[in-house]
Amino acid sequence: MLLFAGTAAVTALVVLAFALATAGVVHTRFADEYGTFTRDLAGVIDSVKAAEIRVRFATGSVQNSWKRRGPGAPEDLRQFEADGRIVFPESGDTNIPLMLSLPAARKDDAQAVSRLLAIARGSEEAGVRFAGMMGSSMIVRWNPRGYIVTPAGATVGLLPMPDLSDPRVAAALADRARLLRFFGSGLDGFAGWPRPPHGQPGKLKWLPPAVDPLSGRTYFRVAALAFDGAHAFAAVVGEFEPSELFAELEGREFEGTYTVVDEDGRPVASTSADVPAAPLVARVQARQRRAAVTEITSAYEGGMLTVSRGLGDSGWTLIYTVPWQVIARSVAASVAAPALLTAFAVALLWGFVILFNRKTLAPLFERSERVFDSEHLSRKLIETAPVGLALVKVSDNTVLLESAHMQALEARIGERGGALIGDALQRHAPAAFRKQRGGESVTTDVQLHWPTGDGDAIDVAAKLTPAHYQGQPVVVAAFSDVTAERQLARQLTAAKQAADSANAAKSTFLAAMSHEIRTPLNAILGHLELLERLPQAAPVAGRVRTVASSSRALLDILNDILDFSKVEAGEMNFESIPFDIGRLIGDTVAMMMPLAQRKGLTLTASVDAGLARQYVGDPARIRQVVVNLLGNAIKFTDRGSVSIAVRAQADGAAHRGARSPLVVSVTDTGVGIPADRLAHIFDAFMQADESITRRFGGTGLGLALCKRIVDAMAGMIAVDSAVGRGSAFTVTLPLPPAGVGAGEPDADARDAAPGDEADLRGLHVLVAEDHEVNRELIRDQLDMLGYTSDVVENGRVALRHFNERHYDVVLTDLGMPVMDGYTLAACLRNQGARTPVIAITADVTAAETRRFREAGISGVLLKPMSLTSIEAAVRCCLKRASDPHAASPAAGRAAGDGAVGGGGAGGKAVEGAAGAEGGAGDAGAAGASRGTAGERVPLVLSAKLRGILAQRTAESLAVVRDALGAGDWATIGASIHSIKGAFAMIDQTEVTEVCVRIEAMIAAAAGPDIGAIGRALDELDARVAHALAQLDAAACDEQADRA
């Protein structure tokens, strides 16, 4: 604490020194502003003196003319009285060009008016005298402006002549009452002003700013009386613009604001629009009144520095104000460097003190505390430890310290004082007693068996460690009573031996029973299969089928029991080989399709196009799980559908080569599972309820076996079900993608390609595609293959082209305006055309497969299409078209009953997944094809195509937004389909996936959810922007590679 207190005192001194320096800078800044005011004050006073000089010169000129001039011309007086004004032509003799008569309460003496008119008209002598005086006043560099008014205010002469043609001036002249108020303001009772002593200047009166009704401008006025002897016959008033007070300050630099205020504190003129507040002005004037007229006063109050001085006899005050912000900026600039140095010095001081305290003083203090605490803690640990602790002196084997548990242990073995314990420890671990100070401390484990005082015995485990206590060598001994643990271990060993013997006997029994049961069962099944092929009477054939079905069910049960037994025994082995997940699912669906069709169910399958083509795992065990789940789904579903879907988990890392979980989902619309049975559905020999076995058969081992197989593959299986709504089983398997060599053709592509390698260059193809980008892309692909093509925008134009020219193959998009692909294919078939028609689509459902067959479509190409997939599909369809034996079944199956091929990167062929009547059509016969996995490279579009794609997509999205507000779902569906087709062609699965989801929302049975569709559209906007950015990046990369 003393260290920090001293540091704080030094810091306070440093800060104080800095504060004093800062105060000096502030004081200097105030002095600078005071000097600025002193410098500029002379200029303002010069302007005030100049105004006074002008008025005094003019007043003297009028008095001289009054003495020298008699009455004026009678005709001038008559005209003036008749018209209320008289205008004298401007010439060198004219003194006052305009004289006005005002409606004052008292009339002026006619003789006085006549003499004023004579002065106004001027004469050579009088004019020269008046002009000379006015000329002398011009030294102030202001234009002469003012007026002369009689004591009664009934007669006014104006200088200079206003523009009488100006309507505003004419209106002002007509309002004589207003003119009377203006010209007479501030001059009430001026006739009582005393006549100045001979040779002394007369008294001046400064009037606040007012608006001149003739010019419309604001002037402040300075008035003086003209005397004839002791009688004041007129007042001479000069008009000045407020800004003329600061004329001498032009070009000078100052940071504050100059303001001239009158006796009542009203602003007369200011160099800024930000004039001081009235309370501040009142305080300044009060301070100024207490000082002499010529004394400069200053103060800092209310965040403002004020400097002021009176302006002579005017009664006005010049105030100079500087806000604190201006002073602060100046001071900050001056003290910035000292402030940084002060802060650095303080920070350095405190940093050193804190570091010294942390590195030196604090550790010393902590170590001293630990020395005191260590002794206390050690004693408490020994006293409260749940095991027996003792410090045994090496020299005589006596116990120095011991815990309560140690004392209890000594009581059980009949020992007091610890001598027996020390002797026993030294006999069993003499090395622990030979360790000296500085030697390596090694813990020694000792197992002791001591008899107790009651004739029994206990097992004790001891750990011995050499140490030093109070300067002498000791052994730290920890004792634990392990009698119960040793007895339990012996029992467990005996139980394990018994269980191993029983398990070996069970395995031997199952192996023997498997052999004994399978041998006659295989003979039964073989003979039953032969009997089924022989002609028999209907009753006998029915019984044979029943026996065969029962025998196969018995074999399935036997296989399940044996597999379950292997899993339980840990003897089931798993392979790790590459396999095609799409083919595995397709084969499994094809195998289960007859069962589903027999019950009138729709069986569908889908495999995410973003998955890798092959994964590494055990395909046989995965097929076993899928067959079990599909079999259960079909078994427990009386009507509706069963579907299976394969996708990567949400992180999407599967296609990037990382180990990402593969998700297989089996969904049905069956009876469902009660909520109270879900927790036990994967237990062995457990089913949803007691009536399942009676109604549907089975042993309850299928799901238990699936659970154990999935667990053995480090996966997970889960179920979501509700009674009456069906069930959804989800299997998650962490399978790594298999490395596929670049350029290696996919198995489906090899199957789909015809055996011969005929040269197809020069083939003439008709393409119908509504999206402009897709049209250009397909045209480029066909050109690359050496085909010639005509590419049109819809089915109607394609039909017209087909009737005008010969084509070998027709490629058509399905969703097009005017005429879609289905209608085009149907029209061609109705015309008798046998030209192969290949549909181009992003996905295939069971309903679409039926439409393919009805429309006469020969094959299907899934977007995105690779060159290999296009050529394979064309070869396959041309081969079928040229072979009458191959064409017939193809026509019957159309698109292969749902066997579809996806081109491009990672497309999947799902065989038999559409659930058509023909069962699992083969992909080769269907004309479906797919690209090779090695062809997945970033697609590069030309700048023109990228621009068209961006423009068309933006237009379609705008149409969708407008249609969403109007509820036009048909337009929304058509636009979304167009976007999906365009991005599917360029293998942008992120965009097509959102499009498919929106299409599903539109087709929802409960009606479209506008909110969900709106959020999906926002996601679609983001994914479209990302896809376009990827295309631009791919184009830039290609240009860089070429460079």
Cis omega (within 30 of 0) for bond into 864: yes
- Name the E strands within 3-102: 85-87, 98-101
* Residue entry with tokens 């060599």: 741
Percent of the chain exceeding pLDDT 70 equals 77
- Do 660 and 652 form a contact (C-beta atoms < 8 A)? yes
* In-domain check, residue 18: no
The pLDDT tens digits for 39-63 are 888 888 888 888 888 888 888 888 8
State whether 673 and 755 are in the same domain.
no
Residues 927, 951, single domain; the answer is: no
- pLDDT for 550-563, tens place per residue? 676 676 666 666 66
Residue 604: predicted pLDDT: 92
Backbone torsions φ then ψ of 1002, nearest 5 degrees: -65, -35
Most confident of 376-380, 673-677, 921-925: 673-677
Give the CA distances from residue 484 to residues 449, 450, 454, 460, 496, in Å, rounded to whole numbers and listed in that order.
13, 14, 17, 10, 18
How many beta carbons lie within 10 A of that of residue 966, not counting itself?
A: 9
pLDDT at 729: 94
- pLDDT at 1005 exceeding the cut of 60: no
Calculate the CA 16 to chain-centre distance. 49
Whether 609 is in a domain gets the answer yes
- How far is the C-alpha of 801 from the C-alpha of 793, rounded, in Å? 11
Dihedral sign from CA coordinates of 611, 612, 617, 620? positive
Between 957 and 894, residue with greater pLDDT: 957
Assess contact for 180 and 196: CB atoms under 8 A.
no
- The whole-number pLDDT of residue 7 equals 86
Mean pLDDT of 316-322: 89
Q: What is the CATH number of the domain that holds 947?
A: 1.20.120
Highest mean pLDDT: which range of 191-195, 396-400, 665-669, 848-852: 665-669
**Could you tell me the strand order of the sheet in which 146-149 lies?**
85-87, 98-101, 155-159, 146-149, 231-240, 218-228, 204-211
The 10s digit of each residue's pLDDT in 477-519 is 888 888 888 888 888 888 888 877 776 676 566 655 655 565 5
Average model confidence (pLDDT) for the chain?
77
Q: What is the CATH number of the domain that holds 826?
A: 3.40.50.2300
- How many CB atoms sit inside 10 A of residue 123's CB? 17
Amino acid at 669: T
Q: What is the mean pLDDT of the segment spanning 284-294?
A: 83
**828 in any annotated domain:** yes
Q: What is the pLDDT, as a whole number, of residue 516? A: 58
Of 695, 853, 865, residue with least CA distance to 779: 865
**In percent, how much of the chain has pLDDT > 90?**
9
**Amino acid (one-letter) located at 38:** T
Q: How confident is the model at residue 143 (pLDDT cuts 50, 70, 90)?
A: low
Strand residues in 470-509 grouped as ranges (E) = 472-481
Residues 406, 475: one domain? yes
Last residue of a domain, one of 563, 586, 618: 563
CATH code of residue 472: 3.30.450.20
Phi then psi for residue 852, to 5 deg, are -55, -50
pLDDT at position 444 is: 78
| Domains contained in the chain, number | 6
Listed residues 481, 514, 534: the one ending a domain: 481
Helix (H) or strand (E) holding 829: helix 821-830
C-alpha count within 13 angstroms, C-beta hemisphere, residue 353: 17
Confidence of residue 565 (pLDDT cuts 50, 70, 90): low
**Across-strand partners of 307?**
298, 320
DSSP 671: S
Could you tell me where the DSSP H helices lie in 865-968?
A: 867-882, 884-893, 923-926, 943-966
Question: Which 3 state secondary structure label does DSSP give 642?
Answer: strand
- Grouping H, G, I as helix, E, B as strand and the rest as coil, residue 643 is strand
pLDDT digit string, tens, across residues 151-175: 888 889 988 888 888 899 888 888 8
Please indicate whether residue 786 or residue 560 has the higher confidence score (pLDDT): 786
Burial 824-862 (b: 16+ CB within 10 A, else e): bbbbbbeeebebbbbbbbbbbbbebbbbbbebbbbbbbb
Q: Pairing state of beta strands 788-792 and 764-768?
A: parallel
Q: Is the pLDDT of residue 304 over 60?
A: yes
* 436 within domain boundaries: yes
Residue 737, SS3 per DSSP: strand
d(CA 569, CA 1028) in angstroms, rounded, equals 55
Statement: residue 268 has pLDDT above 90: no
**From CA 790, how far away is CA 793, in angstroms rounded?**
10
pLDDT of 419: 54
Within this chain, do residues 152 and 85 fall inside the same structural domain, yes or no? yes
Given a contact cutoff of 8 angstroms between Cβ atoms, the answer to whether 148 and 225 are in contact is no
Instruction: Select the more confidently predicted residue: 824 or 439.
Output: 824
Checking if the pLDDT of 764 tops 90, the result is yes
Residue 727 CA to residue 673 CA, distance in Å, equals 7
The Cα–Cα gap between 497 and 492 comes to 9
pLDDT tier, 966 (very low <50, low <70, confident <90, very high otherwise): confident
Question: Last residue of a domain, which of 450, 481, 512?
Answer: 481
Rounded Cα–Cα distance for residues 844 and 916 (Å): 12
8 A C-beta contact, residue 602 and residue 644: no
Judge if 880 and 947 occupy the same domain: no
CB 257 within 8 A of CB 267: no
pLDDT of residue 920 exceeding 60, the answer is no
* Residues constituting the chain: 1043
> Quick one: 447 and 554 in the same domain?
no
Judged by DSSP in three states, 90 sits in coil
Overall average pLDDT of the 790-803 stretch: 92
Give me the DSSP letters along 934-952: GG-------HHHHHHHHHH
Task: Look at residue 525 in the predicted model and tell me its pLDDT.
Answer: 61
* 124 and 138, same domain (yes or no): yes
- Nearest Cα to Cα of residue 717 among 628, 597, 795, 793: 628
Choose the most confident range, by mean pLDDT, from 196-205, 647-656, 899-908, 916-925.
Answer: 196-205
Q: Is the pLDDT of residue 463 over 70?
A: yes
Q: Do 229 and 160 belong to one domain?
A: yes
Residue 126 and residue 193 share a domain: yes
Here the CATH number for the domain that contains residue 668 is: 3.30.565.10
pTM of the model: 0.37
Per residue in 802-831, pLDDT tens?
A: 988 999 999 999 888 889 999 999 999 988
CB-hemisphere CA count at 13 Å for 279?
3
- In the chain, the amino acid numbered 14 is V
C-alpha radius of gyration, the chain, whole number: 57
Nearest alpha carbon to residue 155 among 213, 203, 206, 112: 112
Can you give the pLDDT at residue 458?
Answer: 83
Pairing of strands 317-323, 614-617: unpaired
Dihedral of CA atoms 969, 972, 976, 979 in degrees, nearest 10, equals: 160
pLDDT value of position 808: 92
Residue 222 lies in a domain: yes
Q: What is the pLDDT of residue 392?
A: 82
- The set of residues, in sequence order, having a beta carbon less than 8 Å from that of 630 and lying 6+ positions away, is 588, 589, 592, 603, 642, 644, 666
**Phi and psi (nearest 5°) for 610?**
-85, 0
Are residues 477 and 409 located together in one domain of the fold? yes
- Place 347 in a pLDDT band, splitting at 50, 70 and 90: very high
pLDDT tier at 436 (50, 70, 90 boundaries)? low
Of the pLDDT bands very low, low, confident and very high (cuts 50, 70, 90), residue 727 is very high
Q: What is the pLDDT of residue 132?
A: 41
Cα 792–795–799 angle (5° rounding)? Answer: 90
Residues 621 and 769 reside in one and the same domain: no
Residue 7 lies in a domain: no
Residue with tokens 């593969």: 662
The domain in which residue 775 lies consists of 742-935
Judge if 518 and 665 occupy the same domain.
no
Sheet with strand 716-722: strands edge to edge: 602-607, 641-648, 662-668, 726-733, 716-722
Whether 431 maps to a domain, the answer reads yes
Which residue shows structure tokens 């509820």?
967
Indicate the pairing of strand 764-768 with strand 726-733: unpaired
Q: How confident is the model at residue 893 (pLDDT cuts 50, 70, 90)?
A: very low
* Mean pLDDT, residues 284-304: 84
Of residues 658 and 1003, which shows the higher confidence score? 1003
DSSP output for 158-211? EES---TTSHHHHHHHH-HHHHHHHHHTT-TTGGGSPPPPTTSPPPEEEEEEEE
Least Cα distance to 810 among 7, 165, 822, 818 occurs for 822
Structure-block tokens of residue 686: 């457990």
Does 287 reside within a domain?
A: no
* C-alpha torsion 497→501→503→504, nearest 10: 130
CA angle at 739 for the pair 733 and 745, rounded to the nearest 5°: 115
Strands (E), 502-589: 577-580
Average of per-residue pLDDT across 94-112: 85
Q: Report the C-alpha gap between 603 and 547 in whole angstroms.
A: 28
Say what the pLDDT of residue 701 is: 73
